[in-house]
Chain A
Amino acid sequence: MANAKSDIKRLGRAQAEDFLFAEAEILDDWRLMEWLDIITADIDYRIPVRATREAPDEARAFSAAAFHMIEDRASLVARMKRLTGGGAFSESPHSRARRHVSNVRVGAASDGGVEVRSNLLFFWSREDLQRLVSAERRDTLRIEGGRVLLARRTVLLDHVALPLPNLSIVL
């Protein structure tokens, strides 16, 4: 891990973008089991519930206790097995989705990885429904064995009520 640590400090914006764009392609193309290859064993993935709050509570708009998803690797594996194994009617046929990732900002590095923020505009469509979900993603990318992996993601939604009939996909 000594080498990985020095690699981490050299992760630039272009590398972060390469990772996020490739990840978006994997998810958009419904290669869900492949996505499990680019997340770490100790991944922490969460989408906190947001509420409209007034000052001085605005900073607490994102719940520390309530989540639309609160996942570790095992629960993400279970989700992907369900979605790819047949009989998952929420995604049969699959929804059409496109992840537009932008405003990539590389932040501080630590032993845990490099903090990367990006904006996500997620287009979703099924049957004749069409929806947009907007969010900021706060990720931690970590290099393990020379590969960039997703170690942590918090999705900060720009919605209090999810404008989707379900959240069967990952953002």
Chain B
Amino acid sequence: MHATASPRVDSMLGTLSASIAKGRLPLWIYNDAEVFRLEMERIFARNWVFVAHESEIPRNGDYVSRPIGQDPFIIVRGEDGKIRALFDSCRHRGARICPSDQGNAQTFFCPYHGWSYTTAGALEAVPAKTTAYQHLNLADWGLLQAPRVEIYRGLVFAALTEDVPALTDYLGDYRWYLDTHLALTEGGLEVVGTPHRWHIDADWKSGAENFSGDSYHTQTLHQSIMRIGLAPKAAAGASGGVNDIHVTECSGHATSIRRTDPGTSHFWGYPKDVAALFRQGELSAAQFELAQRSVVHTGTVFPNLSLIHIGGTDSADKPNSAYFSLRQWQPRAPGQLEAWSWVLVPKDASAEFKARSYKVAVANFSPSGNFEQDDSVTWSGVARSAQSVFARNSDMHLNYQMGLPEMSTARLMKDWPGPGAVYDTNLEEGVQRTFFNHWCRAMRAGARI
């Protein structure tokens, strides 16, 4: 089952770790057919991959169709209330059994010959069984399913191999940061509506590495947002503020955080009635203080789940609101991704706030987002040059050197209360090097990281 790599890719993977340590990344890995195929096998089939938020499938029988890498799965809550990831392929001829993106089902029925399955994936009925399949043992022919499905504070992940650590261990220390978003309210979060989906001519890694914490690009690429007043400068202006930090090498995940001054309370800019729902609860005092002072977080959970938590508005004439979005960079082909974006709101917040938060999120981070529109243009440029023969022949490497010891004033924070290697500035690229270090380990292991 282990896919072999050509000498060309093997050699790149063999030297990549040392190369990343020097802040050098070969351009071609952003658009390469063999790298892409290996990513499907070594990364997406061997790591925990986000598939849904629990609030999308609240009732028994509720399902959503979701890819894991490029493989089609039905994420369904069975009659027993348990969530499973069923492979969307009939055991008889392999036809698709769930043509819908979402819904509620009692059974999944194959339109080809009529085999039908329970929401737990068991083969339930076969037409003409008593005459045509007298000795068919239905129990042997249930749908394939992802061997592991686990949930962390509402986030549903699936793994296509048994051989992964528990999800809590995979998220590891990064839970300390995730919890500042997910555990702030008693009732938790819920997804608003249906996720956005759109096609970008860029590699999935461009989204993943950018959201790891590319704090350096906002002042240039997103300058128009500040010009028309859709985001506060504190959230999207020049990086390098005294309260800006980068969390690197946090169980393989990373996050970038901008904060207000010590002793202040901002909570990403949530209005007072929503901030009143936030309580320390299961968080430590340090986590709660971080949430309190937060202006913006971006982050990536390896491999392709990212988050943004930020404030802004859809018009300078209207008040700011905060919004929280999960986004996933689904690999479609080398240099081609399908972006998915969910907006989440505190379940206990008012309907009025939820509508406002969603509207502000759409105005900034969505296919039409005034922020996000600009990202896709630059990322597609990366995929375009990454397939260049000349770039390969010239051994073109990209510069990921910001924050290396000899390069900037970034310093590890010795007194930071949270986990990870945390830098006292966001003018450093250890967050992106974290993503590629993890990518390299996953690609080299040929198995789990």
Q: How far is the CA of A165 from the CA of B369 in the complex (A)?
A: 11
In the complex, what's the smallest C-beta–C-beta distance from B214 to chain A, in angstroms?
A: 15
Q: How far is the CA of A86 from the CA of B224 in the complex (A)?
A: 7
Q: How far is the CA of A90 from the CA of B201 in the complex (A)?
A: 13
- Within B333-389, the residues touching A (CB, 8 Å) are 338, 358-359, 362-363, 366-370, 372-374, 376-378, 380
User: Do the beta carbons of B99 and A54 come within 8 Å of each other?
Assistant: yes
Q: Can you name the residue of chain B whose Cβ is closest to the Cβ of A92?
A: B377
Q: Is B402 an interface residue (CB 8 A)?
A: no
Q: Which residues of chain A are within 8 angstroms of B363 by Cβ–Cβ distance?
A: 75, 78
Q: Is A164 an interface residue (CB 8 A)?
A: yes
User: Do the beta carbons of A166 and B367 come within 8 Å of each other?
Assistant: yes
User: Do the beta carbons of A75 and B101 come within 8 Å of each other?
Assistant: no
In the complex, what's the smallest C-beta–C-beta distance from A102 to chain B, in angstroms?
A: 24
Stretch at the interface among A16-24, A60-68, A112-120, A139-147: A60-68
Q: Which residues of chain B are within 8 angstroms of A3 by Cβ–Cβ distance?
A: none
- Within B310-343, the residues touching A (CB, 8 Å) are 314-318, 338
Q: Is A81 an interface residue (CB 8 A)?
A: yes
User: Do the beta carbons of B228 and A160 come within 8 Å of each other?
Assistant: no
Q: Mark A131-171, 1 if CB is under 8 A from B, else 0.
A: 00000000000000000000000000000111111111000
Main secondary structure of the interface of B (DSSP, over half): mixed
Stretch at the interface among A25-33, A35-43, A45-53: A45-53
- Within A79-132, the residues touching B (CB, 8 Å) are 79, 81-82, 85-91, 127, 129
Q: How far is the CA of A90 from the CA of B368 in the complex (A)?
A: 10
Q: How far is the CA of A31 from the CA of B95 in the complex (A)?
A: 49
Q: How many residues of A contact B (CB 8 A)?
A: 41
Mark A residues whose CB is within 8 Å of B. 47, 49, 51-54, 57, 63-71, 74-75, 77-79, 81-82, 85-91, 127, 129, 160-168
What are 10 A-B residue pairs whose CB atoms fall within 8 Å in the complex? A53-B101, A53-B103, A66-B195, A67-B193, A68-B367, A85-B227, A161-B199, A162-B367, A165-B380, A167-B198
Q: Can you name the residue of chain A whose Cβ is closest to the Cβ of B199?
A: A163
Q: How far is the CA of A13 from the CA of B371 in the complex (A)?
A: 39
Q: Which residues of chain A are within 8 angstroms of B441 by Cβ–Cβ distance?
A: none
Evaluate whether A78 and B377 lie within 8 angstroms (CB atoms) in the complex, with A52-B99, A65-B193, A163-B199 already known.
no
Shortest 8 CB-CB contacts between residues of A and residues of B: A66-B193, A65-B193, A90-B373, A74-B315, A161-B197, A167-B368, A162-B198, A165-B376
Q: Which residues of chain A are within 8 angstroms of B368 by Cβ–Cβ distance?
A: 47, 68-69, 166-168
Q: Mark B193-233, 1 if CB is under 8 A from A, else 0.
A: 11111111110000000000000000001011101101000
